[in-house]
Structure 1
Amino acid sequence: MSISTVSVLSDLLEALPHLRPQLYFKASLTALSHAMEDQVLASNSDRPLLIASFQRERYYRQEAHRYRRLAQRTDQVYVLSALETDFANASGFYETIAFDLEDALSQEWHLIVIGKQYATCLVCRERFMNAGKKKPSLPNNFDVDPSRQFEGIWTSDRQVAFKAAELLLERVLSYRPELSNKVEQARAFFGINRPNKRKSAKNTSKAPEQGFSNIDPNPFVQRLVTYLQAGQYKLLKAYGAIAEQELKERLVNSITAAIRRGSTGGQPLYPQEILKVAVEELGQALSACRCLIYRAGITDETATISHEYLNSAVTSVTGQALPLEEHLLFQAAVQQQESIYIADTHADERIANSAALQAIVNRFFIRSWLIVPVTYQHRLLGMIELHHCGAVPHQWQVNEVGLVEAIATQVGAALIQAEAYANLEDLNQQLEALDRTRSNLIAITGHELRTPLSTIQVCLESLATEPDMPLELRQVMLNTALADSERMRKLVQDFLTLSSLESGQVQWHVESLSLEECVELALSRTRTRTASESQPKIITQLPEHLPLIRADGDWLVEVISKLLDNAGKFTPPQGQIAIEAHSNGDRMVEVTVADNGRGIEPNRLEVVFDRFYQEEGSLRRTVGGTGLGLAICRQIVNGWGGQIWAESDGKDRGSKFHFTIPTAINIG
């Protein structure tokens, strides 16, 4: 293989000096090349030779689907491209030839089509403004620049096409000599000269076959006209986009101004007033039959429609309850955080397969439907709906959807701002909760410290005052005192740990770790602490190919240990605890500690992570602990950007604690 630094265009102009290159813009060459390819696709009987050379692999990828279709018309298709990722020499649907970036082909664009009754060729190279440089650098996005210029030859002269094919087939064989037999067949079939056997210009090719001059040019001309029309359409579309952007900005500004005008005493509007202003402005701007805005949360089962704009004689739905749990379109908009639009509800499969959606369509007389979620920082605040209720479906335009989405963003920000001024009651409730926490702290601390101290005191006094105490009883006294002192140490340590985590004083030592090793360390720690106790069986079910995780190893072991301790407290000795893990598809590994013990009531799944929480009450429990373990776990998991939550089917039905850890590729 030899890398050529001479362009095909230069060789062609040297061989045929009567040719005069012209200048072309990229858009023109795209139209010409597509027209040439479509001429092949329009032919039912001809099996032409087709040679295409792309400057870069990324340009070839944009056209690869077309060449698969072309390969169905002929087996003589050769595609050359500079290698960038995985383009390679191969014989698949057609022959692919990967040339070196140093080859002059990397600056050229060629397409040769030779049939028995027609021939066209496009041979050109790019003209750079900095052409004085030996190797001009190409920006990554220059392929989308319509100002790119090329100089070259485009012609349907059979002599020129044959010469260009001869030059390009030489390049094909220089990179893939194993194709010599196939190339020889093409040369023999179409009468293309072999290398080093050049003839005079008048004898370069065979005489045209009968009927060559009678080729139908309609497919080529029609395709070229189509691309010219497409260029005009893009220009009109650009002007339309400017007008649409102006409309969007004007409407957003009008809603913002209306909200500010409604403010009194320097305070923003209340949420209900914000929705009233927005629904009126949006409904008038888009001339929909009905516009609705209603508040809804991600877990709400129903929503009451309280704000509506009507633009025609359609039924009002204000005050009606909208079921959300079986509302598939609502759920899809929430999960995907994207707009859902339906041009014709009579022809949509989702509505046809859902009795709940059919009921809504029939009750509201909806023919065309647009649903846009109102969110703020991924928090669902409500939903905007637009309905067209006429007999003719409405085709939702991109600018209409974009406009409603912009208004939804504005409404979401306004609602959050209004709620910020209306949260004084919530702040008072938080202060009350802090006061209750303080009371719990005093009560639990007093109980947890007084009980072991009393036990230790009794044991030590007995040892001091009873010198004749049997050895076995003395050992019992010592073990009891040691156990209660360890209980006190754990209590103090948990207080200090939680205080450090909540104050942000912890220094995280993040590194790439194997989850399996951390689980083994946690199991070893648990077995050491409970060696003398009867504990449920612990099994691990970790996949072999889990990705490495990114976390602080010591704190991760602490989380797993505390979850195992918690499960062991509420699971009978004959029960079982399982540790599982899997990748959840979001660059996170999800770890689950499951038991078949006492379980958790559904209304307590969130509060179990609160400080000092104990299922049986802080001062009347049958198991040890301070109620700080799960609170510590939550602080640690939140510290590395993960989540932790609990699941349970109810009392005596076991529980599952899940938490997530970032994988090693998730943190740069």
Structure 2
Amino acid sequence: MSISTSVLSELLQSITYLRPQLYFKASLTALSHAMEDQVLAATLEQPLVIASFQRERYYRQEAHRYQRLALRSNQIYVLSAPETDFRHSSEYYEKIAFEPEDALSQEWHLVVIAENYATCLVCRESLGSIAKTKQTPELTPSLDMDTSRRFEGIWTSERGVSLKAAELLLDRILVYRPDLASKIQEARQRFDIGETRTNKRANQVAEFACDIDTDPFVQRLVTYLQASQYKLHKAYRSITAQARKERLVNSISTAIRRSLDPHEVLQIAAQELGQHLGVGRCLIYRAQATDDQAIIEHEFLSQGILPICGQTWELANNPLFQEVVKQGEGVCVADATNDLRVTSSASLSLIVKKFAIRSWLIEPVLYQGRLLGIVELHYCNLPPHQWQTGELDLVKAIATHIGSALIQAEAYANLEDLNQQLEALDRTRSNLIAITGHELRTPLSTIQVCLESLASEPDMPVELQQVMLNTALSDSERMRKLVQDFLTLSNLESGRVEWHPESLTLQECIDLALSRLRTRSQGEKLPQIKTHISPNLPLVRADGDWLVEVLAKLIDNAYKFTPSEGEISIKAIRNGDRMVEVTVADSGRGIEPNRLEIVFDRFYQEEGALRRTTSGTGLGLAICRQIVNGWGGEIWAESKGKDQGSQFHFTVPVVQSSQEEKRSKVKSK
């Protein structure tokens, strides 16, 4: 059952001259402890003690004290609203669990009555404090957060008031624990509580006890005041440190907003962080989890400290760096001269000795779990520095901002790359329009003229009709090749090609490619073509059709830019254990050195789309690159310059024996 009547209200109605005062929760705690100390200080008396807690979590903090009080008296009563395991019991003292809806859940009571003294504390939490607690329920479980809650009530050593408060609380206890009636009656008779009081005691309502030892009260309150001053001083220091931290973080954040240059941001971060923490050296450098070395790019130095900036920092043999990579968290060393991780590593021991590092902190710069860089702090030539939690949190916060700056700079660089790609796509689009317009329109116009002539001139000589037909067939084949190249490149780039690797002889593939060239070039004088293929060359493993396609396009490309009196050579040699390198060289017009990379781009035309002396779409070399990359090879071009010929190289995997495969696996490991 729950009772809505307030004990404080009943007490004020019974003794009308009482005037409640305002108390803070911290003050009530100090007063309660002083009253409990008074009981613990007594030697012979067995007082009546009644304590009421609002919630079980407040009681749990004081439970051990009440076990000690129970050794002094058998008249100890503790009331609380249960939350987990608080129940009616009589193990050490009498526990009374009242309903959470009871008015007691908003009050704070402690009554102590002995033969020669009495004190009571009866308070009720103010409505404003209750409303604030309800608005921030997430703070209520923390006992350190509610010391400023406000209560109104009575604290007095007046015996009559204490007896009346005890009477009201004992009546409330009987409601919940009727089984304690005999024990409560004993307390009433012993201390003259309620109707059992004698006339002599009844006339002492306004009498104050004179023989109370006030030392426990004074000591408790003095201790509380000293603790309050210490907490206030600590709070001021915390606020000052927090303000400095916020200024530091704001300065770095401002630098990030003002500049997209990561070098400028990292240098400011190193200077600000090093000065703020008063370290001997602060290093910031970029590093990834797989890096073996890093270049120290940014550094803060105190006076007289040896610089490291610009030097190479070993990472592969650095146990501290490897621990950071493995854990994804910072590592701190209080004393580098005694830390096992340092002393057991020859390279770290040398670094510590050379750069006079006594205390060491390594904090990773992470973004979504990816390592971007490292922040290092060194305390040099000083007693060992004990790293504080606030320092570690600050360095972690700065590392987070640095990570954001690096990602921001990376995003900006990626945006520039994207802009360049868009420009390249725009050029590709322009070339596509120009080439398709030229390559399709020209043969289509020729075909149309030939067909119209054949249709409109039935008396045309047979010889001329044959010329018209041959011209139309030749240009239609030219259009077919253009469309076929478009489709082939599209399929290769989109991954829609199915590869069928097989064991092949390279000579056979070269012969097939040359037969294609001779078939298409009947009647034309070709440059001299020589092949140099070693008879001991191993079999290659590739898709035969696509390998022939690469050879045919490279030979056709050499044929286009080589005069008939020139020479084309095809060579193949063993390139390492796993590849054969094929070279198609010509003595033609050559390639400028600055264009050796872009000749493999789509629609690349050295002479421009509309001023070419040779036919073609500019897709042949792009198709070759896609095919070679498809079987895991490489393709590149070489040339000494204009009119000095060119060489195109590509690699093809060889067919390996079982023993060779085992050796390759061992080498790869």
Question: Aligned residue for 2:111?
Answer: 112
Question: Aligned residue for 1:80?
Answer: 79
Residue 170 of structure 2 corresponds to residue 174 of structure 1: no
Residue 9 of structure 2 corresponds to residue 10 of structure 1: yes
Question: Aligned residue for 2:274?
Answer: 283
Decide whether aligned partners of structure 1 residues 173 and 388 sit closer, same or farther in structure 2, where only a CA change above 3 A counts: farther
Q: Which amino acid aligns with 1:294?
A: Y
Question: Aligned residue for 2:261?
Answer: 269
Once residues 104 and 42 of structure 1 are traced to their aligned partners in structure 2, the CA distance between those partners, rounded to angstroms, is 32
Decide whether aligned partners of structure 1 residues 14 and 202 sit closer, same or farther in structure 2, where only a CA change above 3 A counts: farther
Residue 145 of structure 2 corresponds to residue 153 of structure 1: no
Q: Which of 62, 66, 71 is the equivalent residue of 2:62?
A: 66
**Structure 1 segment 47-66 matched on structure 2, within 5 A:** 49-55=48-54, 57=55, 60-62=56-58, 64-66=60-62
Residue 32 of structure 2 corresponds to residue 33 of structure 1: yes
Once residues 224 and 193 of structure 1 are traced to their aligned partners in structure 2, the CA distance between those partners, rounded to angstroms, is 31
Question: Aligned residue for 2:568?
Answer: none
Once residues 136 and 287 of structure 1 are traced to their aligned partners in structure 2, the CA distance between those partners, rounded to angstroms, is 42
**Alpha-carbon RMSD:** 5.2
Q: Which of 236, 250, 254 is the equivalent residue of 2:247?
A: 250
Once residues 117 and 168 of structure 1 are traced to their aligned partners in structure 2, the CA distance between those partners, rounded to angstroms, is 21
| Per-residue deviation, 1:378 | 3.9
User: In 1, are the aligned partners of 2:336 and 2:342 still within 8 Å (CA)?
Assistant: no
Once residues 384 and 200 of structure 1 are traced to their aligned partners in structure 2, the CA distance between those partners, rounded to angstroms, is 81
| Per-residue deviation, 1:415 | 0.7
Q: Which amino acid aligns with 1:309?
A: F
Once residues 300 and 185 of structure 1 are traced to their aligned partners in structure 2, the CA distance between those partners, rounded to angstroms, is 82
Question: Aligned residue for 2:335?
Answer: 345
User: In 1, are the aligned partners of 2:53 and 2:59 still within 8 Å (CA)?
Assistant: no
Q: Which amino acid aligns with 1:386?
A: L
Once residues 295 and 126 of structure 2 are traced to their aligned partners in structure 1, the CA distance between those partners, rounded to angstroms, is 64
| Per-residue deviation, 1:405 | 3.4
Secondary structure of the corresponding residue to residue 123 of structure 1: strand
| Per-residue deviation, 1:124 | 1.0
Once residues 353 and 176 of structure 1 are traced to their aligned partners in structure 2, the CA distance between those partners, rounded to angstroms, is 63
Can you give the 5+ residue segments of structure 1 that lack an aligned partner in the other structure?
449-610, 622-649, 653-668
Secondary structure of the corresponding residue to residue 87 of structure 2: coil
| Per-residue deviation, 1:288 | 1.6
Once residues 314 and 91 of structure 2 are traced to their aligned partners in structure 1, the CA distance between those partners, rounded to angstroms, is 55
Once residues 130 and 258 of structure 1 are traced to their aligned partners in structure 2, the CA distance between those partners, rounded to angstroms, is 44
Question: Aligned residue for 1:525?
Answer: none
Summarize deviations over 1:10-44 as a string: whole Å, max 9, x none: 33334444533222233432332344445566778
Question: Aligned residue for 1:506?
Answer: none
Residue 94 of structure 2 corresponds to residue 102 of structure 1: no
User: In 1, are the aligned partners of 2:363 and 2:375 still within 8 Å (CA)?
Assistant: yes
User: In 2, are the aligned partners of 1:24 and 1:150 still within 8 Å (CA)?
Assistant: yes
Task: Tell me the number of residue pairs that the alignment of Structure 1 and Structure 2 aligns.
Answer: 432
Once residues 74 and 296 of structure 1 are traced to their aligned partners in structure 2, the CA distance between those partners, rounded to angstroms, is 64
**Structure 1 segment 535-554 matched on structure 2, within 5 A:** none
Question: Aligned residue for 1:404?
Answer: 395
| Per-residue deviation, 1:74 | 2.5
Decide whether aligned partners of structure 1 residues 260 and 140 sit closer, same or farther in structure 2, where only a CA change above 3 A counts: closer
Q: Which of 361, 364, 379 is the equivalent residue of 2:370?
A: 379
User: In 1, are the aligned partners of 2:361 and 2:376 still within 8 Å (CA)?
Assistant: yes
| Per-residue deviation, 1:67 | 2.2
Rg comparison, structure with higher value: 2
> What percentage of residue pairs aligned between the two structures are identical?
50
| Per-residue deviation, 1:159 | 4.3
**Structure 1 segment 444-523 matched on structure 2, within 5 A:** 444=498
TM-score (norm 1): 0.52
Once residues 417 and 230 of structure 1 are traced to their aligned partners in structure 2, the CA distance between those partners, rounded to angstroms, is 48
Secondary structure of the corresponding residue to residue 173 of structure 1: helix
Once residues 369 and 393 of structure 1 are traced to their aligned partners in structure 2, the CA distance between those partners, rounded to angstroms, is 10
| Per-residue deviation, 1:122 | 1.1
Question: Aligned residue for 2:639?
Answer: none
| Per-residue deviation, 1:78 | 3.6
| Per-residue deviation, 1:123 | 0.4
| Per-residue deviation, 1:81 | 2.2
TM-score (norm 2): 0.51
Once residues 175 and 124 of structure 2 are traced to their aligned partners in structure 1, the CA distance between those partners, rounded to angstroms, is 20
Summarize deviations over 1:238-264 as a string: whole Å, max 9, x none: 555554444334333433444566x5x
Secondary structure of the corresponding residue to residue 18 of structure 2: coil
User: In 1, are the aligned partners of 2:320 and 2:362 still within 8 Å (CA)?
Assistant: no
Can you give the 5+ residue segments of structure 2 that lack an aligned partner in the other structure?
425-488, 503-629, 633-651, 657-663
Once residues 99 and 362 of structure 1 are traced to their aligned partners in structure 2, the CA distance between those partners, rounded to angstroms, is 68
| Per-residue deviation, 1:149 | 3.5
User: In 1, are the aligned partners of 2:174 and 2:181 still within 8 Å (CA)?
Assistant: yes
Question: Aligned residue for 1:308?
Answer: 299
Decide whether aligned partners of structure 1 residues 253 and 186 sit closer, same or farther in structure 2, where only a CA change above 3 A counts: same
Once residues 163 and 118 of structure 1 are traced to their aligned partners in structure 2, the CA distance between those partners, rounded to angstroms, is 14
Decide whether aligned partners of structure 1 residues 292 and 180 sit closer, same or farther in structure 2, where only a CA change above 3 A counts: farther
Once residues 177 and 5 of structure 2 are traced to their aligned partners in structure 1, the CA distance between those partners, rounded to angstroms, is 19
Secondary structure of the corresponding residue to residue 152 of structure 1: strand
Once residues 275 and 193 of structure 2 are traced to their aligned partners in structure 1, the CA distance between those partners, rounded to angstroms, is 73
Question: Aligned residue for 2:219?
Answer: 222
Summarize deviations over 1:341-367 as a string: whole Å, max 9, x none: 67x53899xx46875599476666555
Once residues 183 and 332 of structure 1 are traced to their aligned partners in structure 2, the CA distance between those partners, rounded to angstroms, is 66
Residue 286 of structure 2 corresponds to residue 295 of structure 1: yes
Once residues 179 and 226 of structure 1 are traced to their aligned partners in structure 2, the CA distance between those partners, rounded to angstroms, is 38
Secondary structure of the corresponding residue to residue 20 of structure 1: coil
Decide whether aligned partners of structure 1 residues 419 and 106 sit closer, same or farther in structure 2, where only a CA change above 3 A counts: same
Decide whether aligned partners of structure 1 residues 352 and 128 sit closer, same or farther in structure 2, where only a CA change above 3 A counts: same
Once residues 6 and 87 of structure 1 are traced to their aligned partners in structure 2, the CA distance between those partners, rounded to angstroms, is 22
Secondary structure of the corresponding residue to residue 108 of structure 2: strand
Once residues 224 and 5 of structure 1 are traced to their aligned partners in structure 2, the CA distance between those partners, rounded to angstroms, is 33
User: In 1, are the aligned partners of 2:110 and 2:120 still within 8 Å (CA)?
Assistant: yes
| Per-residue deviation, 1:224 | 1.7
Decide whether aligned partners of structure 1 residues 390 and 163 sit closer, same or farther in structure 2, where only a CA change above 3 A counts: farther
Summarize deviations over 1:37-85 as a string: whole Å, max 9, x none: 4556677887765432222x2xx42552332244234355543222345
Question: Aligned residue for 1:165?
Answer: 166
| Per-residue deviation, 1:282 | 1.5
Once residues 45 and 354 of structure 1 are traced to their aligned partners in structure 2, the CA distance between those partners, rounded to angstroms, is 63
Once residues 233 and 58 of structure 2 are traced to their aligned partners in structure 1, the CA distance between those partners, rounded to angstroms, is 24
Question: Aligned residue for 2:587?
Answer: none
Secondary structure of the corresponding residue to residue 97 of structure 1: strand
Secondary structure of the corresponding residue to residue 31 of structure 1: helix
Q: Which of 409, 418, 421 is the equivalent residue of 2:409?
A: 418
Once residues 106 and 91 of structure 1 are traced to their aligned partners in structure 2, the CA distance between those partners, rounded to angstroms, is 21
